[in-house]
Structure 1
Amino acid sequence: MTPADYEFLRKLLKERSGLDLSADKQYLVESRLVPLARRAGLSGISDLVLKMKSGAEPLIVAVVEAMTTNETFFFRDKIPFDHLRDTVVPALLRSRATRKTIRIWSAACSTGQEPYSIAMCLKEMAQLLTGWRIEIVATDLSQEVLEKARAGIYSQFEVQRGLPIQLLVKYFTQMGELWQLVPEIRSMVQHRHLNLLQDFSQLGKFDLIFIRNVLIYFDQETKASMFERLLKVLEPDGMLMLGAAESVVGVTDAFKPCPSRRGLYQPNPQRGAQSAFGAMSHVMKLVAAR
């Protein structure tokens, strides 16, 4: 792969997916794209780039999906699901008592383990949520991983990663060496194709947004823009769940951390007041200068 090929791929991936590759990630590109080039009948990455430059859109889509498909597993990092059970749901039970609806978005859901973990967590709280309408929307850039997520079929290795044995027995059916989620859990999740860099306001408002281990791949400007757009689709008292290595600190003042709840954030109520105060101060300075 030539330096020019790598720069072309870096620019394309940034424009199409927000993925911000550093200058030393050639090994990652080669490990994921060389097999793709061979499957396409091409000799290597240079031929792959040449084909993409000719406008081969299906190949471009395949390249973006190959580079943005990330690892996931059931109940990943555990703490976010403890927050869901112990903090988020109790708060929503109080604040949504009149309308009895909860909308949750799992962004960049990959092969579905995250939204299905959310669904199982809520199913385990079914007694508290009797009479409530629960809507879980799961989105991803890759059509391929969404197809797997919709099917809800996982290997023995996949169900052994993070999934408690009691939930495997309770919510999965064995199919030879594979396991499939039962229909009642699969039906709780709506899967939709979505590029996070594009407009997602059509998804409506959410009470909770999971967007974990995604923003770490974006540059600061893209992160700041993403937080602004997420704020617009989150209810004023809603909550945002980020990955363990992610934070709003130094990026945006749109959200503030929830005390003693690592990874959990809420819209910053002081932001509007700060903006109004700043605007008033500016006006006062202009008046004083006259």
Structure 2
Amino acid sequence: MTPAQFSFLADFLRQRSGLSIGEDKRYLVDARLSPIARARGRSLPDLIETLRRGDDLALAAAVIEAMTTNETFFFRDATPFAALSEVMLPKLFAARGLEKRLRIWCAACSTGQEPYSIAMTLDQHAEALKGWSVEIVGTDISSEVIDRARAGLFTQFEVQRGLPIRLLLANFVQEGDKWRISEALRSRVQFRTLNLLRDFSTLGSFDVVFCRNVLIYFDAATKREVLGRMSRQTASDGFLALGAAESLNGMGLPFQPIAGRPGICGRTPAAPVIQFRREGAVA
């Protein structure tokens, strides 16, 4: 792979998926794309040249799928789910008492463990939510992981990562050596394939947005642009959950960190919503 080919691939991934890769990630490109090249009977440089022509949409999708990181597990990091239960929901219950409607978006949801964890967290407030309309939407750029999320079928290893045994027994049915989410829980989460670089305004407004550990792979301009659009679809008294190590410092976005809750921000209705457009952004 020549420097020019690597540069093209880096630009392709940034423009199509937001993923920012540097020269230090050549090993990752080799590890993830070489199997695709071998399956097609080609070398990696040949595969990149095919991408450059732009006429193989299936290959483009396969490359993006392969380069996307899909690390996730149930109740990952614990903090956002505690904040949902202890901070966000009580405030939203008080504010939405007449409307009785709640919408939660889990962006970059991978194979579904995060939105299903959100649904199980809401179960702790079942009494308070009686008579409410609750929507949980999970999205990801990868159609492959969205299909897995919809199926709700997980390995023994996956259910052992972060999922308390009581919730496993209450919400899953064993099928051979795997576990499937109950139909009751699966039916409460809508899954859609979505590229965060494209327009997502059709999703509507949300009271809570989870966008954790995905924007760390984007460059600063892309991160600002995506979060700027997310802010416009977050209710004026809504919440944004980022990864614990992620920060909005210096971005001029209408969110205020919540003290003692790493990565959790409240929407600030008085702040101006700044519109960002990343140069070369995909429409």
* Normalised-by-shorter TM-score class: over 0.9
Distance of 2:78 and 2:40 partners within structure 1: 39
Q: Deviations over 1:123-176 (max 9, x none)?
A: 232122111111001111111000000000000000000111110011000001
Matches within 5 A, 1:17-28: 17-28=17-28
Alpha-carbon shift at residue 270 of structure 1 (Å): 4.5
Q: Deviations over 1:163-208 (max 9, x none)?
A: 1111001100000100000001100100111110000010000000
- Alpha-carbon RMSD: 1.5
Does the C-alpha gap of structure 1 residues 270 and 28 become closer, same or farther in structure 2, counting only changes over 3 Å?
same
Q: Deviations over 1:67-104 (max 9, x none)?
A: 11321111000110000111111111100000111000
Distance of 2:269 and 2:138 partners within structure 1: 28
Matching residue's letter, 1:130: K
Distance of 2:39 and 2:154 partners within structure 1: 24
SS at match of 2:71: coil
Name the structure 2 match of 1:50: 49
Name the structure 1 match of 2:258: 258
Rg comparison, structure with higher value: 1
- The question of whether the paired residues in 1 share the 8 Å contact of 2:254 and 2:272 is answered with no
Distance of 2:184 and 2:89 partners within structure 1: 20
- The question of whether the paired residues in 1 share the 8 Å contact of 2:100 and 2:131 is answered with yes
Alpha-carbon shift at residue 23 of structure 1 (Å): 2.3
Name the structure 1 match of 2:103: 103
Alpha-carbon shift at residue 11 of structure 1 (Å): 0.4
Name the structure 2 match of 1:171: 171
The TM-score with structure 2 as length reference comes to 0.93
Distance of 2:72 and 2:36 partners within structure 1: 21
Determine what percentage of the aligned residue pairs are the same residue.
51
Name the structure 2 match of 1:60: 60
Instruction: Name the structure with the higher helix share.
Output: 1
- The question of whether the paired residues in 2 share the 8 Å contact of 1:216 and 1:245 is answered with no
Give 5+ residue unaligned stretches, structure 1.
274-290
Name the structure 2 match of 1:115: 115
Which stretch shifts more, 56-65 or 44-53? 44-53
Matches within 5 A, 1:1-290: 1-42=1-42, 44-54=43-53, 55-272=55-272
Distance of 1:244 and 1:12 partners within structure 2: 29
**Higher RCO structure (Cα 8 Å, ≥6 apart):** 2
Name the structure 2 match of 1:279: none
Name the structure 2 match of 1:287: none
Q: Extract structure 1 runs of 4+ deviating beyond 4 A.
A: none
Work out the number of aligned pairs and report it.
Answer: 273
Distance of 1:269 and 1:101 partners within structure 2: 20
- The question of whether the paired residues in 1 share the 8 Å contact of 2:17 and 2:195 is answered with yes
